[in-house]
A and B are shown apart, each in its own frame.
Chain A
Amino acid sequence: MDTRTSAPEPGQGGAGPDTFPRWLMHHAKARPQQAAMREKAYGIWQTYTWAQVAENVRAIACGLAQLGFKRGDRLAVVGDNRPRLYWSVAACQCLGGIPVMMYQDAVAQEMAYVLQDAEIKFAVVEDQEQVDKMVEIQPDAPLLEHVIYDDPRGMRHYTQTLLMGLDELQEMGRIHDRNQPDFLDGEIAKGASDDISIMLYTSGTTGKPKGVCQTHGAFIAAASGAIQFDKLTDKEDILSYLPMAWVGDHLFSFAQATVAGFTINCPESGETVMNDLREIGPTYYFAPPRVFENLLTQVMIRMEDAGSLKRKIFHHFMDVARRCGADILDGKPVSGGDRFQYWLGNLLVYGPLKNVLGMSRIRVAYTAGAAIGPDLFRFYRSIGINLKQLYGQTETCAYVCLQPDGQIKLDSVGKPAPFVEVKLADNGEILVKGPMLLKAYYKRPDATAESINADGYFMTGDAGFFDEDGHLKIIDRAKDVGKMADGTMFAPNYIENKLKFFQHVKEAVTFGAGKEFATAFINIDLEAVGNWAEKKGMAYSGYTDLAQQAAVYELIRDCVEKVNADLAADPNMSGSQIKRFLILHKELDADDGELTRTRKVRRNFIAEKYGELIEAMFEGRKTQFIETQVKYEDGRTGKVSADLRIEEVKTFAPQAGKRAA
Chain B
Amino acid sequence: MLYRENGQFKTSYAADQQIFPIFQERWAMALLLLVAFVVLPLVGSEYWFRAILIPFLILSLAALGLNILVGYCGQISLGTGAFMAVGAYAAYNFMVRIDGMPLIVAMLLGGLSATVIGVLFGIPSLRIKGLYLAVATLAAQFFTDWAFLRIGWFTNNSSSGSVSMARLDVFGVPIESPVTKYLFVLTVVCVFALMAKNLVRSAIGRQWMAIRDMDVAAAVIGIRPMYAKLSAFAVSSFIVGVAGVLWAFIHLGAWEPAAFSIDRSFQLLFMVIIGGLGSIAGAFLGAGFIVLLPLALDQIPHLLGIPLSTATITHLVHMIFGALIVFFLIVEPHGLAKLWSVGKQKLRLWPFPH
- Complex A–B touching at CB under 8 A: yes
Residue numbers of A with Cβ under 8 A of B are 38, 43-47, 237, 265, 278-281, 299, 302-303, 305-307, 310, 313-314, 347-349, 351-356, 358-361
**With contacts A307-B353, A356-B349 known, is A44 near B3, CB below 8 A?**
no
Q: Do B4 and A351 have beta carbons less than 8 Å apart?
A: yes
Q: Is the CB of B4 within 8 A of A45?
A: no
Q: How far is the CB of B4 from chain A (nearest CB, A)?
A: 5
Q: Are A302 and B354 in contact (CB under 8 A)?
A: yes
- List, sorted by A's number, 26 A–B pairs whose CB atoms are closer than 8 Å: A38-B11, A44-B16, A45-B11, A278-B5, A279-B5, A279-B6, A279-B7, A279-B9, A280-B6, A280-B9, A302-B353, A305-B354, A306-B352, A307-B353, A310-B351, A314-B351, A348-B351, A349-B351, A352-B1, A353-B351, A355-B6, A356-B349, A356-B350, A358-B6, A359-B6, A360-B6
The residue that A356 contacts in the complex, of B9, B11, B16, B352, with Cβ under 8 A, is B352
Whether the Cβ atoms of A313 and B351 lie closer than 8 Å is yes
Across the interface, which residues of B come within 8 angstroms of A299, CB to CB?
352
Rounded to whole angstroms, the CA-CA distance of A351 and B15 in the bound complex is: 25
User: A348 with B1: in contact, given A43-B13, A305-B353 (CB under 8 Å)?
Assistant: yes
Contacts of A307 in B (CB 8 A): 353
In the complex, what residue of chain B is closest to A317 when comparing beta carbons?
B351
Q: Within 8 Å CB of A280, what residues of B?
A: 6-7, 9
Most chain A beta-carbon contacts within 10 A, residue among B4, B16, B352, B353: B352
Bound complex: CA A306 to CA B346 (Å) = 11
CA distance A348 to B351 in the complex (A): 8
- Residues B1-58 near A (CB distance < 8 A): 1, 3-13, 15-16
Query: Cβ of B7 and Cβ of A303 under 8 Å apart?
Result: no
By beta carbon, the residue of chain B nearest A352 is B350
User: B7 contacts A281, CB within 8 Å?
Assistant: yes
- How many chain-B residues does the 8 Å CB contact rule pick out? 20
- Taking CB atoms, residues of chain B closer than 8 Å to A348 are 1, 351
Given contacts A43-B16, A44-B16, A47-B11, contact A360 B4 (CB under 8 A): yes
A-B interface, 5 closest residue pairs, ranked by CB to CB distance from nearest: A281-B6, A360-B6, A281-B7, A279-B9, A306-B353
For residue A302, which residues in chain B have a CB less than 8 angstroms away from its CB? 352-354
State whether A361 touches B7 (Cβ < 8 A): yes
Contacting residues, chain A, for B3 (C-beta < 8 A): 352, 355
> Residue of A at shortest CB range from B16?
A44
Flag if B353 contacts A46 (CB, 8 Å): no
The chain B residue with its CB closest to the CB of A351 is: B4
The distance in angstroms between the C-alpha atoms of A354 and B4, with both chains bound, is: 9
B353 touches A45 (CB 8 A): no
Q: How long is the Cα–Cα vector from A617 to B10 in the complex, in angstroms?
A: 57
Residues of A within 8 A of B353 (CB): 302, 305-307, 310
Q: Which of A46, A310, A314, A360 contacts B11 (CB 8 A)?
A: A46
**Which residues of the other chain, A, contact B4 by a CB distance below 8 angstroms?**
351, 355, 360
Inter-chain CA distance A237–B6, complex, in Å, is 11
Give the Cβ gap from B345 to chain A, nearest Cβ, in Å: 12
Instruction: Tell me the complex Cα distance, A307–B7, Å.
Output: 29
Least CB separation from A357: chain B residue: B6
Measured CB to CB, the closest approach of chain A to B147, in angstroms, equals 52
Taken together as a complex, chains A and B put the C-alpha atoms of A105 and B6 apart, in Å, by: 30
Smallest Cβ-Cβ distance to B9: which chain A residue: A279
**Could you say which residues of chain A place their CB within 8 Å of the CB of B5?**
278-279, 281, 355
Query: What's the nearest-Cβ distance from chain B to residue A76, in Å?
Result: 32
Which of B6, B7, B349 has the most chain A CB atoms closer than 10 A to its own CB?
Answer: B6
Task: Give min CB distance, A366 to chain B, whole Å.
Answer: 18
Bound Cα distance from A279 to B5, whole angstroms: 7
User: B354 contacts which chain A residues (CB < 8 A)?
Assistant: 302, 305
Q: Are A44 and B352 in contact (CB under 8 A)?
A: no
Q: How far is the CA of A347 from the CA of B1 in the complex (A)?
A: 8
**Closest CB in chain A relative to B30 CB, distance in Å:** 21
Residues 301-354 of B contacting A (Cβ, < 8 Å): 349-354
Tell me the smallest distance from the CB of B352 to a CB of chain A, in Å: 5
Question: In the bound complex, what is the Cα–Cα distance between A278 and B15 (angstroms)?
Answer: 17
How far is B4's CA from A302's CA once the two chains are assembled, in angstroms? 19
- State A351–B9 Cα separation when bound (angstroms): 18
Contacts of B7 in A (CB 8 A): 237, 279-281, 360-361
B11: chain A residues at CB < 8 Å are 38, 44-47
